[in-house]
């Protein structure tokens, strides 16, 4: 395996899961669809330090999809 692009979790409580990811894994929330549903549920993207591609994160910044 060369790397990992993304993993999708469908959860009952997105706010509780957000808190878990931030507090336990020091994840950075980099995108939120807010109340909009684009697929099967509300969505948020997280950046877990040391995982994934910096190029992907930078492309989201360029698209202005990152939460500041």
CB-based contacts of 47: which residues, under 8 Å, 6+ apart?
Answer: 27, 28, 30, 57
Place of tokens 């957000």: 18
Annotated active-site residue 43? The verdict is yes
Bridge partner residues of 44 (DSSP): 32
Q: Which of 28, 29, 43, 58 is catalytic?
A: 43
What's the token pair of residue 53? Answer: 């591609």
Active site residues: 43
């Amino acid at each position: 395996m060369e790397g990992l692009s993304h993993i999708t979790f469908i959860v009952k409580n997105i706010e509780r899961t957000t808190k878990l990811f931030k507090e336990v894994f020091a994840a950075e929330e980099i995108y939120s669809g807010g109340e909009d549903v684009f697929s099967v549920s509300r969505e948020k993207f997280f950046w877990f330090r040391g995982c994934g591609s910096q190029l992907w994160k930078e492309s989201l910044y360029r698209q202005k999809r990152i939460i500041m």
